[in-house]
Amino acid sequence: MDDRELLTLANEARGRAYAPYSKFPVGAALLCRDGAVFTGVNVENAVNGLSLCAERVALFKAISEGHRDFVKIAVTCRGTHCRPCGACRQVLHEHAPDLEVLMGNPDGAFVRTTVRDLLPDAFSL
Ligand code: THU
């Protein structure tokens, strides 16, 4: 699974986002070490604070299916490139601090980074 394929899966997932309030669909695709891919979308709710970001949906799907070893996540939304929010950075850091992050947009442009670079000096117990 190369970068382009993972970004395409994230972008296809983006089409399934449930974002009636923000009207800002986000898609994610998480690549596991064994080659499995879990996608995620943002799922919003009429009650403020109950919405979940695409990245965490993808990660929680993977963990709940028994996957713990992650290589790369692609995230896409409109704009220059999709930057994971602070909450997602913290949650991703817990499970995969060295995860590669491809921050993309629907046109195929992307910026490569890592969770560690996105959240330096992260909190952990
Ligand atoms: N959102 C994500 O799903 N991932 C990000 O990286 C940034 C923000 C969602 C949350 C909310 O549903 C919408 O985008 C607007 O904030």
pLDDT tens-digit map of 61-105: 999 999 999 999 999 999 999 999 999 999 999 999 999 999 999
In angstroms, the CA 2 to CA 65 distance is 23
- Joined tokens for residue 94: 């817990």
Selecting among 5, 12, 44, 55, the annotated active-site residue is: 55
| Spacing, Cα 41 to ligand 1 middle (Å) | 9
Q: Does the Cβ of 80 fall within 6 Å of ligand 1? A: no
Let me know: does 54 contact 84? Beta carbons within 8 Å. no
CATH of 3-118, one of 3.40.140.10, 1.20.1050.40, 3.50.50.60, 3.40.640.10: 3.40.140.10
Shortest-distance atom of ligand 1 to CA 82: 6
Q: Is 44 marked active-site?
A: no
Q: How far is the CA of 17 from the centre of ligand 1 (A)?
A: 10
> What pLDDT was estimated at residue 48?
87
Task: Write out pLDDT tens, residues 27-54.
Answer: 999 999 999 999 999 999 999 899 999 9
Percent of the chain with pLDDT over 90: 99
Q: Is the CB of residue 104 less than 8 Å from the CB of residue 7? A: yes
pLDDT cut 70: percent of the chain above it:
100
The closest of 33, 29, 50 to 41, measured between CA atoms, is: 29
CB of 75 closer than 6 A to ligand 1? Answer: yes
pTM of the model: 0.97
| CA 51 to ligand 1: nearest atom | 12
Q: How far is the CA of 51 from the centre of ligand 1 (A)?
A: 9
Residue 37 neighbours by CB distance under 10 Å: 20
